[in-house]
Amino acid sequence: MPRPRKTENKGLPARWRHLHGAYYYAVPPGLESRWGGKKLFRLGTTLSAAYKGWAARLETPPHKLETIDQLLDRYAREVVPTKAPRTQTENIRYIAGLRQVFGNLPIADMKPQLVYRYVDKRSAKIAAHREIEVLSHAFTKAVEWGNIDRHPFKGEVRLQGEKPRDRYVEDWEVLECLALDSRRKKGSVLAIQAYIRIKLMTGMARSDLLRLQPAQHFKEDGIHIQRHKTAGTSGKRTIYDWTPELHAAVQMALAARPVDTAPFLFCTRAGKGYVNEASGESHGWNSMWQRFMDRVLDDTKVTQRFTEHDLRAKCASDAPTLEHARALLSHADGRMTERAYRRKPERVKPLIGL
pLDDT of residue 257: 94
Global confidence as pTM: 0.72
Sign of CA dihedral 257, 263, 265, 266: negative
pLDDT of residue 1: 47
Alpha helices in 169-282 (DSSP H): 171-178, 188-202, 206-209, 214-217, 244-256
CA 117, CA 119: separation in Å to the nearest integer?
6
Q: What pLDDT digit, counting tens, does each position of 215-258 carry?
A: 999 999 999 999 887 776 777 889 999 999 999 999 999 999 99
Share of the chain above pLDDT 90, in %: 53
Q: Please give the domain boundaries of the chain with CATH numbers for all domains.
A: 7-144 (no CATH), 171-341 (1.10.443.10)
Q: What are phi and psi of 40, to 5 degrees?
A: -125, 105
Mapping DSSP to helix (H, G, I), strand (E, B) and coil, where does residue 241 land? strand
User: With bands split at pLDDT 50, 70 and 90, how would you rate the model's confidence at 130?
Assistant: very high
CA-wise closest residue to 306 among 129, 130, 171, 184: 171
DSSP character string of 113-138: HHHHHHHHH-S-HHHHHHHHHHHHHH
More confident residue, 333 or 62: 333
pLDDT of residue 249: 97
